[in-house]
Structure 1
Amino acid sequence: MGHTFIIAEAGVNHNGSIQLGKELIEGAAKAGADAIKFQTFITDLCLTETAVKADYQIKSTDPDESQFEMVKKLELSPKMHEELIEHCNKNNILFLSTPFDEPSVDLLVNKFNVPLLKIASGEITNAPLLLKMARTGKPILLSTGASSIADVEKALGVLAFGYQSTHMQTPSIEAFERAYSSEEGQKLLQENVTLLHCTSEYPAPFDEVNLNAMKTLQRTFSLPVGYSDHTKGIAIPIAAVAMGAVVIEKHITLDCNLPGPDHRASLELDEFSEMVSSIRQVEASLGQSLKIPSYSELKNKPVIRKSIVASRQINKGETFSSENLTIKRPGDGVSPFYYWEYLGKKANKTYQKNERVFL
C-alpha cells in the first residue's frame, strides 16, 4: 500500500553482453528500483526470417540487418540468466523477465522460479502463450499497448481460464468467455493480474499517451493498473503514479547512443534515479483522502489565520461597529466568521488598538 512497484526495464539493452547486463543491474539497484526486467526468448520460436523491423528499429540499428538477425544476437542463454539472477541477488534487486515463447516460460518458472510474469503488449493475442503463463499460477503483469478494450477482455478470458482450469479442460473461445464471466474467474483475475497501460511506439509521442485510458482500464475491469512507459523523460510515469498506477515500468540504458533497438527510448541511469526519487515523493504526497489539517499544519493555523481585533481604542460600553473592529493576524482569538455577531453589541471592557476582542 502506497508503494509503487518500479521496474527498470533492461529488456535487450544488454546488447548480448553479460557485463553490460550486470552494470544495468547495479545501476537499477542504486537508483532504488524494486526490480529489473530482461527478456527471455528463443528467436527461432518467435520470428520468421522474413519478419520486418519496426520503423524505430530501422532507425536505431543496421538497416541491412533483418529483425531475425537483430533479435538473435540479443538472446540470453540459461547460463546468462543464472549469472544475471545471481548478480541481482548480490545487489538486492528482484530479477524479472518477459517470456516470448513457451519454453522460455518453463525456464523462468521451473528453473528460476521467478515471482511473477510479464506479458508483452505484442503477445496479448497469443492465446496459447497466455494460457501457458496463467497455468503456472504466477501473478501476471499484462501490458496493453496497441490494444482495445475488447482485446484486453479476450486476453483476460484466457488468463481466467488458465488460472482456474486443469490441463484436462479443452481451451476454446467459448471456454475463455465462460471463465471470464464466472465468479471464480473474476476472483482469480483480481488476485493475480495487473493491467499496464502502454503506448507501443518508441519513443511514444506525448499526445498519444492517453493516460486517462489507464483509469478506463481500472474502471472497466476492476483490476489494479500500472503504466509501461516509452516516452522521453520522466514526467509521464510520475503523472501516472499520481493517477493511481501501482506499477511503473521504464526502459534503462547505460548510454542512449549505444547501438540497439531500444536505447534511444530509454533513460540513462542518472535520469532513471531522478524518476524513482520523484515517484517516491509523489507517493508520500498522496497521503489520505480525508481533508483535515495535517500534523505540521496545526502549529501554523494561528499564524496564518486572523482574529477579530480593535482597530482603535474601544471604551467599555461602546458599541462595536465596522468603525472600531477589524480583522488581523494572528488567529488565536475569535474567528472572523463571528464578525457580524459583534456588530451592535456593547464592549464589556476597554480594548486597546490591535487587542483581540471577546464578547
Structure 2
Amino acid sequence: MRNPIKIDNNYIGEDFSPYIIAEMSGNHNGDIDRAKELIKQAKQAGASAVKMQTYTADTMTIDCDKDDFQIKGGLWDGKNLYQLYEWAHTPWNWHQVLFSYANDLGITLFSSPFDETAVDFLESLNAPAYKIASFELVDHPLIAKVAKTKKPIILSTGMATYDEIAEAIKVAKNNGNEELIVLHCISGYPTPIAESNLSTITKLKKDFGVQVGLSDHTLGTTASVAATVLGATVIEKHFTLKRADGGPDAAFSLEPNELQQLCNTTKDAWLSLGQANYELKKAETPNLQFRRSVYVVEDIKKGDTFNEKNIRRIRPGFGLQPKYYNELLGSTATKNISKGTPMRWDLCTKKT
C-alpha cells in the first residue's frame, strides 16, 4: 500500500475516493470572469481541484513561421506554436485573483509550470502542488526545479517511453521529492478509447511503486471509471462551460453536468471495490431466508422414517442446510411433525 499524499485538505491514495482534477487549460477563452465561473462550476460539480497552466507564448517558444513551428492537422491546424500559446495562455496577472477566488470557494487551485520562471511565480503564490505536463516530462531541469519545492508533483506520461518515465521519476527523487503521482496519459486530442491502454496503470504501479492516476483525453467518462477500478487515485479531465463556446481544448472537454457525473461515477466505482472477503454483507442478510433448506412436506408420526417423499430441499431457508439431506434420509422422527416444519436435528434420530 502506497502512502497517501496530501494536497491542501485532501488525501490522495487507495483508501480515498479518486482525486478529480478539472483542467481549465485555455478554456477561459481569454475572459477572467469565465475562468472564475469554471472554478465555481468545478466546485459545484464535486471536483477536488482545478488546474491551470502557467506560461506565456515567449516562455514556450519563439515567434517564428518556419516549418518547424507550424501546426499541421488536428484541432490547431494552421496556427504556429506561438499563435497557439498566445491564444491559450492564462495571463499571469490573473493568477493571484484566481488563487484567492478558489480559496474563498474552498476548492484547490494549482498549475502546470512550463519553465523555471513559472515555478518561481507559482511559489510566490504558495501553490500547493505542481503538475508536469506530458510534453515537459523530458525537461529534467524543470522537474528538478519543481522537486526542490518539496510539494507534491503529478507527472503526466503522454508520449513517454518506459525509460523516459523512469528518468523523470529518478530526477524528482534525486532532488529530494518522493511525493509523486504518475498519470498514465495518451496525448491524443481526443484519444480514441481503443487506444487508452489502461492496463498500463497496473504496470506503472508495480514497476515504480508510486501512486498512479489517469490524464484522460477520451470523450466521455468510461475510461476514467475503468481506470478507477484498476487503482487510479487521480483522474484529470479537461473542463469547459460549454463545448459550443469553443476554445483551445473545448472539443475534448467535459461540461459541468458531465464533470459531476465523472465525480459521482468514479466515487461509486471506488466504493464498489471494497475489500476482498467472503463475509455475509449487510445487504444480503434479509435474503438468507430465501435460500433452500430441508422441510417436512407431509405430516409425520413419531417413529416414521424420513424419505424422499416426506422431506424435501425447498425454499425458505429456516431448516437444516441441503448438504445434510442425504444424512437425514433413513433417520426416524422423534415426535409427530406437521407439514411445513423446518427440519432440525432434534426432530430425528441419527441412522445407526
Q: Same fold (TM over 0.5)?
A: yes
- Asked if 1:262 is matched to 2:230, the reply is no
- Contact residue 60 and residue 85 of structure 2 kept, 8 A: no
Q: What is the 5 A alignment of 1:299-318?
A: 299-301=286-288, 303-318=289-304
Instruction: Quote the Cα distance in structure 2 between the aligned partners of 1:356 and 1:278.
Output: 44
Which residue in 2 is equivalent to 1:77? 91
Q: TM-score, normalised by structure 2?
A: 0.89
CA distance in 2, matches of 1:338, 1:42: 77
1:56 aligns with 2:74: yes
Partner of residue 306 from structure 2, selected from 299, 310, 320: 320
Identify the residue that residue 6 of structure 2 maps to in structure 1.
none
Instruction: State the alpha-carbon separation in 2 of the partners of residues 135 and 341 from structure 1.
Output: 73
Structure 1 residue 310 displacement after superposition: 1.5
The answer on whether the counterparts of 1:56 and 1:261 sit within 8 Å (CA) in structure 2 is no
Alignment of 1:1-359 (within 5 A): 1-48=15-62, 49=64, 50=66, 51-53=69-71, 55-58=73-76, 63=78, 65-109=79-123, 111-163=124-176, 188-189=177-178, 192-301=179-288, 303-359=289-345
**Partner SS state of residue 142, structure 1:** strand
Contact 1:118/1:140, CA 8 A, preserved across alignment: yes
The one-letter code sitting in structure 2 at the alignment partner of 1:356 is P
Tell whether the 8 Å contact from 2:155 to 2:180 is kept in structure 1 after alignment: yes
Q: Judge conservation of contact 1:10–1:24 (CA < 8 Å) in 2.
A: yes
The alpha-carbon distance between structure 1 residues 94 and 220, as it changes in their structure 2 partners (threshold 3 A), is same
Aligned CA distance change for structure 1 residues 348 and 298 (closer, same or farther; 3 Å): same
1:179 equivalent in structure 2? none
Paired residue secondary structure (1:57): coil
Task: Identify unmatched segments of 5+ residues in structure 2.
Answer: 1-14, 346-352
Residues 183, 212 of structure 2: 8 Å contact kept: yes
TM-fit CA distance, 1:71: 1.0
Paired amino acid for 2:104: K
Partners in 2 of 1:24 and 1:227 — Cα distance? Answer: 21
What's the C-alpha RMSD, in Å, of the aligned pairs? 1.6
State the aligned residue count: 327
Stretches of 4+ aligned residues off by more than 6 angstroms: none
TM-score (norm 1): 0.87
Letter in 1 for 2:135: G
**Percentage identity across aligned positions?**
36
Gaps of 5+ in 1: 164-187
Q: Distance in 2 between matches of 1:221 and 1:322?
A: 62
Per the TM alignment, residue 222 of structure 1 is displaced from its structure 2 partner at its CA by 1.1
Kindly state the Cα deviation for residue 299 of structure 1 after the two structures are TM-superposed. 3.2
Secondary structure of the structure 1 residue equivalent to 2:343: coil
**Higher relative helix content:** 1
Could you tell me how far 1:93 is from its partner in structure 2?
0.7
Deviation at 1:96, TM superposition (A): 1.1
The amino acid that maps onto 1:82 is: Q
Name the CA distance, whole Å, in 2 between partners of 1:260 and 1:147: 26
Report the Cα distance in structure 1 between the residues aligned to 2:278 and 2:105, rounded to whole angstroms: 40
**3-state SS of paired residue (1:215):** helix
The answer to whether the 8 A contact 2:76-2:84 is kept is no
> Cα deviations across residues 310-336 of structure 1 (Å, max 9, x unaligned)?
122222212222222212222122111
- Residue 193 and residue 279 in structure 1: after superposition, are their counterparts in 2 closer, same or farther (change >3 A)? same
The residue number in structure 2 matching 1:185 is none
Counterpart secondary structure, 2:88: coil
Distance 1:119 1:54 in 2: 25
The DSSP-based 3-state class of the residue aligned with 1:56 is coil
Over 3 Å counting, the alpha-carbon distance change for 1:314 and 1:7 in structure 2 is: same
Q: CA deviation at 1:54?
A: 6.0
Looking at structure 1, the residues matched to 245 and 72 of structure 2 have their Cα atoms a distance apart, in angstroms, of: 18
Deviations 1:60-92 (A, max 9, x none): xxx3x3221121133323320011112111221
